[in-house]
Structure 1
């Protein structure tokens, strides 16, 4: 997969882009449900191409897992036209918060090591097919070492202040973007597609095409 796929740069915290989570904006758990239009979405996090798509996902979400390969293929078709970024799910106060936080830490560790593009699909496979527990440092480090990463480097990144800050920023981004369904992909900070809106995960790439083509 090409380097187009990379996550949101979460230094937005220091730039004051994040709002405080609210009960209405942050549901207890990922769900599928009808979404109302959300005017006044935040502007794109950073623009390095004519369009930006920001995906909100969770490694333990089956719909996120099903979207991964089609999303990679969609991004590859739009190289140079769309910057695709990812933000892992953390819903504060929800029943899955602890697992989501651990998965977010894994994601940002892989990002810090430059391994997201190579290993993103492998993480989904490990969680959904191999039922690997990646919610502890030891479990995640052992899995990463099996994928060819240096365990020492992985542990340093896992414990780093940069990863701490990235993980801490996630709940605010979910609240700011009013995400209540996974996966959600927001285009140019103005509109979104989800499995419900697109009639299923398989319809999301076509919906993304429509969103980047509209004026």
Structure 2
């Protein structure tokens, strides 16, 4: 299996690092409390978080990943449920050195342009549908701008934002964070810069919110 196939699958493991791929336990939801090493892992090097008041949940996703798309609706519902105590931060995945890095950076530029325009909540699901259902290429400025215009965004405003230094810096930072957080599967969610879960850990995409509930609860009990 080549790296592009891996990137498009649920289990996005760096084969160059020799990491073994375990099959997903689709639909397997445990009735026991999630446990470290099984449903989630602790980062070897916990990362500082940007939100000091609420617990941060950082989601690493890729628009071209079908399981990232599957997580979008339940993650939005989960974030809405926790809107008073959790700050959801999305990070578009960029695997440095992969054959798809260029496409990933194009998708990341689209995401950060939408974020700076305050349009993520309204258009995130539409991006996923366009990529997966309509097979739309959104990896270049021209195709992304055309898509944005069809969704009611001013072309000049979108273009300026897409090309802005702020968006460029965010894209570069996303690539650094992908490595720093040890992401090896998409989607991945890291709670408070310390605990990481993903479909193959949680027992499927549908089981991730339950694990996230537990991790947020544990963080709050520790006084975060």
TM-score of Structure 1 vs Structure 2, range by shorter chain: 0.7 to 0.9
Aligned to 2:49: 44
Q: TM-score, normalised by structure 1?
A: 0.83
Aligned to 1:22: none
Contact 1:65 1:124 in 2 (8 A): yes
Q: 1:165 aligns with which of 141, 165, 169?
A: 169
Q: TM-score, normalised by structure 2?
A: 0.80
RMSD: 1.7
Please say which structure displays the higher CA radius of gyration.
2
Q: 2:100 aligns with which of 96, 119, 125?
A: 96
CA–CA distance in structure 2, aligned partners of residues 45 and 174 of structure 1: 16
CA–CA distance in structure 2, aligned partners of residues 37 and 47 of structure 1: 20
What aligned pairs does 1:1-215 form with structure 2 within 5 A after superposition? Answer: 30=7, 31=12, 33=21, 37-49=42-54, 51-214=55-218, 215=221
Deviations 1:168-215 (A, max 9, x none): 111111111111111100001110110011100000001100111124
Aligned to 2:31: none
Runs of 4+ in 1 over 3 A off after TM superposition: 27-30, 32-37
CA–CA distance in structure 1, aligned partners of residues 45 and 169 of structure 2: 26
CA–CA distance in structure 1, aligned partners of residues 76 and 42 of structure 2: 26
CA–CA distance in structure 2, aligned partners of residues 69 and 82 of structure 1: 17
Structure 2 unaligned segments of length 5 or more: list them: 14-20, 23-36
Shift of 1:143: 0.5
Structure 1 unaligned segments of length 5 or more: list them: 1-26
